[in-house]
Structures are given as structure tokens and as C-alpha cells.
Amino acid sequence: MSDASEPRVGVTGRVLGETLRYARERDYTGWDYGDGMSSRLLQAVPVENKWLNIAVQETIKRAPVNVRPLFLVEQRRNYKGTALFTMANLTAGRVLGEGSSAEPDYEREARDLAEWLVEHRTPGYAGFCGAHRHEIQHLDILGLPEYPDMVSTSYAVRALLAAHDAGLDDGETDYAAVVRSVADFIDEDLEYEEIEEGARMKYVPTWSSDHFTLNAVALGGATLLELDDRFPDEGHRERGEKLLDYVVSRQRPEGGWMYRDPPSASHLSMDSHHNGFVIESLLRHAELTGSDRYSDVLDDALAFYRDELFESNGAPNWDESSAYPRDIHAAAQGIIVFSLAGEFELAERVIGWVLGALYVGDGRFFYRQERWYTKRVTLMRWCEAWMSYAVATYLDRRDTVDRFRQV
């Protein structure tokens, strides 16, 4: 990093560079939030048993210390995490500068990661999509790496479109053309369905239609708006807004959203990072369309998010009724939302809390602060990818505003 750029990016810029270096040195590969089924010990058991799967998976996820090495859990590169690292590297190239022999080639890193996203997209579906790379045992179904989901797919679409906009297409791969078919994935595999309140869709093709995951529907709507921004006049905006209309219709009087519709379909209530996904999608709508269609909804949502899901010092609450656990993903999503909303002082408070409570140094973050202890495990997607993308988003938006003020 050059001396001239140091005052502008400051500590936050150094943290972004350190976080990307930490991930880059490990080839963006590591442990993940729900990776317990990738235990080689579990895989060696000669019988398949749902309850054994759940016992091992949840023990690894919930243990107060990191037991993944004991269970021989495989470290893998996560699809959504790779999308986040792609966008973080793209932004780092702009805000940190590159070109000297002492600095990494952020653009090359972003291009390599974008190529990986294209190569590892999930085949066999109607359109572009991606999936987590670990099996996950649910109570009613075993989730396989072959099952794509809307959330992973939405961030991959955003990353590849950003790489396309940055001119990183290598001449053979047109990233925008690759992701254009995601609309077919939404329509056919996720069973896009118009209803009186708008439209809804599944989170994962194999899941039941008895419930709908609201943050995934919101991200699906935002994804169609991303397509409309590049490929207008194909009906993407109308269908994207119908998905957002449905989500908006489920806003609670407090201003937030339950995790699922109906709420009884999940033990989660109005938790922090999933509410952040919904708000981010509505902010993206305003940014991409220039419309104030959801302005009143956003006012209420941001007030709830700001006042109920974060403390005054920037610490994230788990949901509307519980402070703990204070999760790094919730903090990262708060940085993103407040940065997109132009509330930089709030974003800085969250960054400050994370650096004080969960930052180890040298680019490494811990996963979660419980009431009486901290879970001292670093997860490549949940911690590193989200924080690099969050800090990059803050720096990019703050830099844009600062430059505008200087004009």
C-alpha cells in the first residue's frame, strides 16, 4: 500500500488487505459453519443414520471450542464465500491500489475466483446456479452438494456481473452471458409462482412448498433486478418486484421479518443477518431502479434493524429478543447495510466493535461471542469472506461519497 493511500484507507483498509492476504495464503479454503457432515470419521461409519449425522454435525457446530481437527473435518472452498472474495478483491484493487511489487494483484485474484465460480456452478438445472459444498443433515432431508440454493446463487451472480463490469472476462467466458440463465433457474427449478401479494419461490429446488424463506425470496428478487440492469426489456424487473412485493407484505409491525413464511416453519424469529439480507435487497432495488417504491418499508425496516438488532456501540444482537450470541456474520451484514444506506457512522461503530471483540489480528476473525466466552474458531466463509466483503463495501461506498464531495 502506498504512503499516499494510507491516510484515506486507514486502519480499515489495512484490515481489508490483511483479511484478503489471510484467505489468499490458504487458497480461500477452510472450515465452514455447517461442515460437520464432512468429517472423515463420520464418513467412515459403515451405516447411514440421520440421528448420528445430526449428533456429529451439531456437536461440531455448537462445541465451545473447535473440534473439527478431532473429527477430521475436510476444509473446502465455499461457493458463496468465493463470490464474496471475488467482489472483495475487485474492490480492494480500487480502494487500496495495486501495481507495485509489494502489493498483490487483486484483479488477477478476482479473475481467478470468477473463473472458479463458472467452473464449479451446479450442472443439471434449468439455469445458472451454485451450491454449498458440504452435505447438511436436516430433520426432514439430507442436503447434498448437488442441491443449489438461491442465496449462494445470488451472490455468485452479483460477483460475476461485477467481474464483467470490471472487464475481467477473458475473451472466452462472458460472465454476464453465463449468469443470464439464472432467471430460468428461478422460474423452473425454484418454481416461481405469482400470488395475490406478488410472487414467491423456493430456497432450494428439493425443499417443500409448504414454507418460504423470506430472505432467499428477497435475494431472488434482487437477482432479477441485477439481470434487468444488464438485460432490460425481458420482464426481469416486473418479476423481481413481485418477489419483493411478497416479502414486503410479510413485514411485521415492528419493522422486521421472520425467517420463514409461515413463521411456525422455523425456530428462528427476526434474526439479524437474515433481516439484513432483506434490507440489502430493498436498498439494491432503489439503487438499480431509481424508484422509491419501497421507501416507507425501508424507513421502518432500517429503524428496527438499527434500534433493535444493534447496540449503540455497534455490537450485533442475535434477534429482537436476544443479544447473544453476537455473530460475526450479523456484524458483517450490518456493515454492508449501513454502508449501502449511507449511514457510515453506524457502519464504523460495527467495524469498531468487531475489531475490539472478534479480530485476532493478521487478517483473522473469530466466529462468535457468547455471553460468557468467545468461540475462537475462524471459518473461511462465515468469518473471512463476509468481513472482507463488508469492509470492502464500506470503503468503496465511503470513498465514493468522499470523492463526490470533492467535486
pLDDT at 150: 98
What is the distance between the alpha carbons of residues 316 and 306, in angstroms, rounded to a whole number? 10
Return the closest-CA partner of residue 229 out of 161, 174, 177, 163: 161
Through-space distance between the first and last CA atoms of the chain, rounded to whole angstroms: 25
Taking 90 as the threshold, does the pLDDT of residue 395 lie above it? yes
Cβ–Cβ < 8 Å for 283, 298 = yes
Give the gyration radius of the chain's Cα atoms: 20
Question: What pLDDT shows up at residue 110?
Answer: 97
Question: Residue 129 and residue 43: Cα distance in Å, rounded?
Answer: 27
List all residues 6 or more positions away from 287 whose beta carbon is below 8 Å from its beta carbon.
Answer: 340
Going by pLDDT thresholds of 50, 70 and 90, the confidence category of residue 402 is low
Q: Cα 230 to the chain's mean position, in Å?
A: 22
Give the integer Cα–Cα distance in Å for 190 and 219.
13
Q: What digits encode the pLDDT tens for the residues 253-271?
A: 999 999 999 999 999 999 9
Is the C-alpha dihedral spanning 312, 316, 317, 319 positive or negative?
Answer: positive
pLDDT of residue 141: 85
Report the candidate in 129, 238, 112 with the shortest Cα–Cα distance to residue 179: 129
The pLDDT value recorded for residue 142 is 86
Cβ atoms 328, 383 nearer than 8 A: yes
Is a pLDDT exceeding 70 seen at residue 403?
A: no
Is residue 3 predicted with pLDDT exceeding 50?
no
Q: What is the largest CA-CA distance in the chain?
A: 68
In whole angstroms, give the CA distance from residue 74 to residue 35: 8
Confidence label for 4 from pLDDT (cuts 50, 70 and 90): very low
Instruction: Look at phi and psi of residue 233 and say left if phi exceeds 0, alpha if psi is from -120 to 50, else beta.
Output: left
Query: Which pLDDT tens digit goes with each residue over 130-189?
Result: 999 889 998 888 888 899 999 999 999 999 999 999 999 877 789 999 999 999 999 999
pLDDT by residue (tens digit) across 79-91?
999 999 999 999 9
Rounded Cα distance between 206 and 209, Å, is: 9
In whole angstroms, give the CA distance from residue 176 to residue 370.
42
pLDDT in tens, 60-78: 999 999 999 999 999 999 9
| Topology of the domain covering 6-35+74-406 | Glycosyltransferase (1.50.10)
